[in-house]
């Protein structure tokens, strides 16, 4: 007897072979046909029982959501809905599911809204949609590591608790071991962090970039892939308080090399899921089309999910300077007719998602890499250009989502870096170790950051980022 996953059995031609399968009941009809799923595939295995020789007590316990063990022989299916089925010789109930309670959960056949499913994040992965999303997320995660390992990058685990703010954003979660009702205080009433666990003020990291840079300047090329945190009070479909970031850093690499790396990386991981998640993508594509058709005409995507993924693979990313992009946007119909929510009036504007999507979907009809942004809207560590007003930054823009990657050539000149930190009131003593890397063999180096959930969102076609992470952390929500 072979113990196997349903994904393997559905592809098998070992007819009359005995198999042992364990999974959860998706449906049970006519007291005879069990649709069984074990999470290995979006497809169910039909198990046919001889109800006349099965006890009434057992039949009553075969409910939606119940965990069962089945032993039986593989047969060619008599029905047209499936190629194979299992003729059951032995069935055991491993875990009951109360039918009265199942009706109140996502396991019932009734369709629930995605918002409702988020309230039951511990069970939603048993639905077809979330099973498909999470299997694809897993494959995409593997593809990330596979790409960088094949390119001889070293995987670095950067700190989750940190004393620095890489983005200069200030929107960080504080970490403390002090009694919040009675914290240690200085004479002036301020918090005395010297008495805290780490002896200084600490936070959850917003990025592993600065630490990764120090490793790139020793190991040549490294990447981080770990959790990051933003205490932004953003209740939108594009923001999470806890998310995963992919951040490569490469020594002796300028902005052009950085753009090459980012484009190659994205195409690799998308190609990987197209080749390895076909059934889940077909299901998600049908779901995307149905959801898209229900939207108002102006909000509909011109491409389905599979077309979007192939669009990225089949097109070279168009490289456009920020200055050129501003001119295009200023002269565009939506801007002139004031259709944009944010009207572009002058150079220096911070581009919004609507502008980014216009450039990708309407103007260039290809993924776009914008580069050489105004220094005033970018972080202190980005290399200043000779014009003194732009930096060697780049963002990659995708259809339907806008910005998916942000990166730059890093400022390797110690004097310029110090000047920029002074302008932004970033204390040198806080980042003394970062400045040290510019004193001991400084060199041109670059890197980028890609929010993993944004990538999963693009690859699955899900409209809300909260539906591509197992347990979303958002304002006023830290359930599970």
Burial class, 148, CB count within 10 angstroms (exposed 0-12 / middle 13-18 / buried 19+): buried
| Distance (Å, whole) CA 65 – CA 58 | 15
Looking at the fold, whether 28 and 60 belong to one and the same domain comes out as yes
Helices and strands (H, E) in the chain, number of each type: 15, 17
The reply to whether 180 falls in a domain is no
What does pLDDT average to in each consecutive run of 10 residues of the chain (480 residues)?
A: 94 94 95 96 96 91 95 90 93 92 69 84 92 98 98 97 71 93 92 93 94 97 96 84 97 98 98 97 96 87 92 94 97 93 94 93 94 95 96 94 94 96 89 95 97 96 94 91
Residue in the block written with tokens 């914290």: 183
**Residue 129 is encoded by which pair of tokens?**
């949609």
Looking at the fold, whether 40 and 150 belong to one and the same domain comes out as no
Looking at the fold, whether 387 and 302 belong to one and the same domain comes out as yes
Q: Which string of b and e fits 249-284 if b means at least 16 CB within 10 Å?
A: bbbebebeebbebbbebbbbbbebbeeebeebbebb
Q: Which domain holds residue 53?
A: 2-105
Domain boundary among 65, 90, 105: 105
Looking at the fold, whether 142 and 233 belong to one and the same domain comes out as yes
Q: What is the 3-state secondary structure (H, E, C) of 25-38?
A: EEEEECCCEEEEEC
Q: What is the CATH number of the domain that holds 300?
A: 3.30.930.10
The reply to whether 424 falls in a domain is yes
Looking at the fold, whether 101 and 132 belong to one and the same domain comes out as no
The reply to whether 188 falls in a domain is no
What sign has the CA pseudo-torsion 239, 281, 15, 90?
positive
The CA-atom distances, in angstroms, between 109 and each of 28, 40, 47, 365 are 11, 20, 19, 40
198: three-class secondary structure by DSSP: coil
Looking at the fold, whether 43 and 142 belong to one and the same domain comes out as no
What sign has the CA pseudo-torsion 310, 311, 315, 321?
negative
The residues, any chain, with a CB within 8 Å of residue 296's CB and separated by 6 or more, are none
Looking at the fold, whether 41 and 154 belong to one and the same domain comes out as no
Kindly compute the dihedral angle of the four CA atoms of residues 460, 462, 467, 468, in this order, to the nearest 10 degrees: 30
The reply to whether 99 falls in a domain is yes
Looking at the fold, whether 96 and 153 belong to one and the same domain comes out as no
The reply to whether 283 falls in a domain is yes
Looking at the fold, whether 149 and 71 belong to one and the same domain comes out as no
The reply to whether 176 falls in a domain is no
| Distance (Å, whole) CA 448 – CA 431 | 20
Looking at the fold, whether 241 and 348 belong to one and the same domain comes out as yes
**Taking Cα atoms as reference points, which of 172, 252, 213 lies closest to residue 449?**
213
At 165 the pLDDT is 65
Looking at the fold, whether 101 and 135 belong to one and the same domain comes out as no
354: left (phi > 0), else alpha (psi -120 to 50), else beta? alpha
Q: What is the CATH number of the domain that holds 14?
A: 2.40.50.140
The CA-atom distances, in angstroms, between 24 and each of 9, 117, 141, 188, 478 are 16, 19, 26, 62, 28
Domain count, the chain: 2
**Residue 169 is encoded by which pair of tokens?**
């954003």
At 413 the pLDDT is 97
At 233 the pLDDT is 85
Neighbours of 149 (CB within 10 A): 12
The reply to whether 175 falls in a domain is no
- Contact between 373 and 322 under an 8 Å Cβ cutoff? The reply is yes
The reply to whether 192 falls in a domain is no
Looking at the fold, whether 224 and 361 belong to one and the same domain comes out as yes
């Amino acid at each position: 007897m072979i113990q196997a996953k349903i994904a393997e059995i559905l592809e098998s031609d070992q007819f009359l072979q005995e198999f042992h399968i364990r999974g959860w009941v998706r449906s049970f009809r006519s007291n005879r046909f069990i649709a069984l799923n074990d999470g290995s595939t979006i497809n169910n295995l039909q198990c046919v029982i001889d109800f006349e020789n099965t006890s009434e007590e057992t039949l009553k316990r075969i409910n939606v959501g119940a965990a069962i063990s089945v032993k039986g022989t593989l047969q060619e299916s008599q029905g047209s809905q499936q190629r194979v089925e299992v003729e059951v010789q032995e069935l055991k109930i491993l875990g009951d599911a109360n039918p009265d309670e199942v009706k109140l959960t996502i396991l019932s056949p009734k369709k629930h809204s995605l918002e409702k499913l988020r309230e039951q994040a511990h069970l939603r992965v048993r639905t077809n949609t979330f099973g498909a999303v999470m299997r694809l997320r897993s494959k995409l995660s593997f593809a990330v590591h596979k790409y960088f390992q094949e390119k001889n990058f070293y995987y670095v685990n950067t700190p989750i608790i940190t004393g620095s703010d890489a983005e200069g954003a200030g929107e960080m979660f504080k970490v403390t071991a002090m009694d919040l009702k009675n914290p240690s205080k200085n004479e002036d009433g301020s918090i005395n962090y010297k008495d805290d666990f780490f002896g200084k003020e600490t936070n959850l990291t917003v990025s592993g970039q600065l630490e990764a840079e120090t490793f790139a300047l020793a190991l040549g090329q490294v990447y981080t892939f770990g959790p990051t945190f933003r205490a932004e009070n953003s209740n939108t479909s594009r923001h999470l308080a806890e998310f995963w970031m992919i951040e490569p850093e490469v020594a002796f690499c300028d902005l052009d090399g950085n753009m090459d790396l980012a484009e190659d990386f994205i195409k690799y991981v998308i190609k990987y899921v197209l080749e390895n998640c076909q059934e889940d993508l077909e299901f998600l594509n049908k779901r995307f089309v149905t959801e898209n058709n229900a939207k108002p005409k102006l909000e509909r995507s011109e491409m389905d999910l599979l077309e979007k993924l192939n669009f990225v693979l089949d097109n070279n990313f168009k490289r456009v300077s920020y200055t050129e992009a501003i001119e295009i946007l200023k002269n565009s119909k939506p801007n002139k007719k004031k259709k944009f929510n944010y009207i572009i009036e002058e150079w220096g504007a911070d581009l919004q998602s609507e502008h980014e999507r216009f450039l990708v979907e309407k103007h260039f009809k290809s993924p776009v890499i914008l580069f050489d942004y105004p220094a005033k809207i970018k972080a202190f560590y980005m290399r200043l250009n000779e014009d003194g007003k732009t930096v060697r930054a780049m963002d990659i823009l995708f259809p339907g989502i806008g910005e998916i990657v942000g990166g730059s050539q890093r400022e390797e000149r110690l004097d310029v870096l110090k000047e920029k930190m002074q302008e932004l009131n970033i204390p040198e003593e806080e980042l003394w170790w970062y400045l040290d890397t510019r004193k001991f063999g400084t060199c041109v180096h670059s890197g980028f950051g890609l929010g993993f959930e944004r990538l999963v969102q693009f690859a699955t076609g899900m409209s809300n980022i909260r539906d591509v992470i197992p347990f979303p952390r958002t304002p006023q929500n830290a359930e599970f």
